[in-house]
Amino acid sequence: DTEVTQTPKHLVMGMTNKKSLKCEQHMGHRAMYWYKQKAKKPPELMFVYSYEKLSINESVPSRFSPECPNSSLLNLHLHALQPEDSALYLCASSPTGSMTYEQYFGPGTRLTVT
């Protein structure tokens, strides 16, 4: 299995809702990432988990809460989002201890906040 899966593909939520994005990989990668990508912009790193521990938080607002329950699964919990948070949310994973640390991206969740 050489892919990263993300659910849901699309999500529309109101500013008072609570929702979660899910990411899964079965490649044995021990580093997992969340990126945010606005239209016509490059991806921006949000969080990095290494061996199920949060290693990088790129000053992301607390309304985004990541969770890594095990080595294959990464969640992003959303609460009280703003319309400007509407974007494509990409999950990625990479092997640790390799030469390339190449990141494999999932298909993304397109989030719309109304």
Partner 1 sequence: ELKVEQNPLFLSMQEGKNYTIYCNYSTTSDRLYWYRQDPGKSLESLFVLLSNGAVKQEGRLMASLDTKARLSTLHITAAVHDLSATYFCAVNYGGSQGNLIFGKGTKLSVKP
Binding to partner 1 in span 74-93, by CB under 8 A: 90
Contact 4, 104 (CB under 8 A): yes
Number of residues binding to partner 1, judged by CB under 8 A: 26
C-alpha gyration radius of the chain: 13
Return the number of the residue (16 or 99) whose C-beta is nearest partner 1.
Answer: 99
Return the number of the residue (13 or 45) whose C-beta is nearest partner 1.
Answer: 45
Residue 104 in contact with partner 1, rule: CB under 8 A:
yes
Q: Distance between CA 55 and CA 35 in Å, rounded?
A: 14
| H and E: helices and strands count for the chain | 0, 11
Residues forming the site for partner 1 (CB under 8 A): 31, 33, 41-45, 48, 50, 55-56, 90, 94, 96-97, 99-108, 110
